[in-house]
Copies of this chain bind each other. A is one copy, B any other.
Amino acid sequence: MGKAKKKDKHFKPWQAPGSVGLVETRSFRFGEPPDEMPLDSGLKLGPITLAYETYGKLNAERGNAVLICHALSGDAHAAGYNSPTDRKPGWWDYMIGPGKPFDTEKYFVICSNIIGGCKGSTGPWSVNPRTGAPYGLEFPVLTIGDMARAQRELVAHLGITRLLNVVGGSMGGMQALQWAMAYPESVASATLIASAAKLSAQGIAFDAVGRRAIMMDPAWKNGQYYGGPGPDPGLALARMTAHITYLSEESLHQKFGRRLQNGERFGYSFTNEFQVESYLDHQGEVFIRRFDANSYLYITKAMDYFDLTQGGAMTLAQALSGVNSRFLVISFSSDWLYPPEESKEIVRALKMNSADVAYCEIKSDLGHDSFLLPCPLQEQMITNFLAANLKS
């Protein structure tokens, strides 16, 4: 039926059952000088704009709010369509809407673009009020803690003191964990998907080569490229390399194998020949149209810094000793960037604190990106977890 409808040129996807419909990205501004927001670095940032979207309605008890935290390249537009001409819905549309796991008939769903991002929230591309020009590298280096701190201002602004659920995959899971640790009274439950309590050495290494690709691009100009051409080749390369880590060898094998782009014979040249090369190329091309290179630097740096044990100053169990939330932790078997072992480490530390935690490793060939893809098991677990938390 879905396919038949799509062929109908009068079909309006935002009117389809299950869609949150046409949605508007709004802005929340706070931290006006002299009340700038303090950062983990000791610096301050303000004013800050957060771009955000909400779906569904806050109930009278203000107890049905769900905060969705996005991953590296996500944005506030998690569901629905911003305009009737949009071809694609928000990045987690299959999860959010009437009758979907984040059921907008039941929950008030919030998603905001992180600070440091480039999709409406204050980031290195924003105008530095001190200079009147884009920050570039004068933007302060941020942490996952800073991202959560800014989100908390938005949540308070929306009149919510306790979130029913904070949820995220990958770096979004880091934010959700940060919320549960830093603001235990504000988080009834947290859902951590394909995530970790710290970025691994290998993760730092991949982030480092990504940043280097951007910074070696002559058009990067030490971050001062706004108003002219940006470091597109460098950003594309960073994305292409990272994209390999989001998939698995098995999924690359199944999707592309060693198939050639054109015909059966090698071209004996340095143009793209294998389908997997063209695919990566395309990923890079699409990315540079929608992402800012400096934001990429800042966000990956924040991920590198993330480590709840503060460099081993305490155990993870000690770091999480104050949590006061229920947890659902999900990992994917073929995820080698945030492998299941990293999720299990969180589960062990939570159990050491007698926290209420459910864990599931989902068998999947699709690697780290599994969390973004339709997966009935993940959908059902999130549906049930939210329902149980709403009741209690």
A contact set with B: CB distance below 8 Å = 41, 43, 137, 140-141, 198-202, 204-206, 208-209, 211-213, 215-218, 233-234, 237, 240-241, 244, 247, 249, 252-253, 255-258, 260, 264, 266, 268-270, 272-274, 276-277, 280, 297, 301, 304-305, 307, 311-312, 336, 339
Contacts and interface: CB of A to CB of B under 8 A. Distances in A.
Given A140-B268, A273-B304, 13 more contacts: A43-B268, A141-B269, A199-B258, A200-B252, A201-B249, A201-B257, A201-B276, A202-B244, A204-B276, A205-B277, A205-B280, A206-B244, A216-B234
Contacts of A260: 311
Nearest to A203: B249
Contacts of A199: 258
Number of copies of this kind of chain in the complex: 2
A148 to B, nearest CB: 17
A384 to B, nearest CB: 32
A213 B215 contact: no
B209 A270 contact: no
A141 B208 contact: no
Contacts of A244: 202, 205-206, 209
Most chain B CB inside 10 Å of its own CB: which residue of A234, A274, A305: A274
A281 to B, nearest CB: 8
A201 B252 contact: yes
Nearest to A277: B208
A232 to B, nearest CB: 10
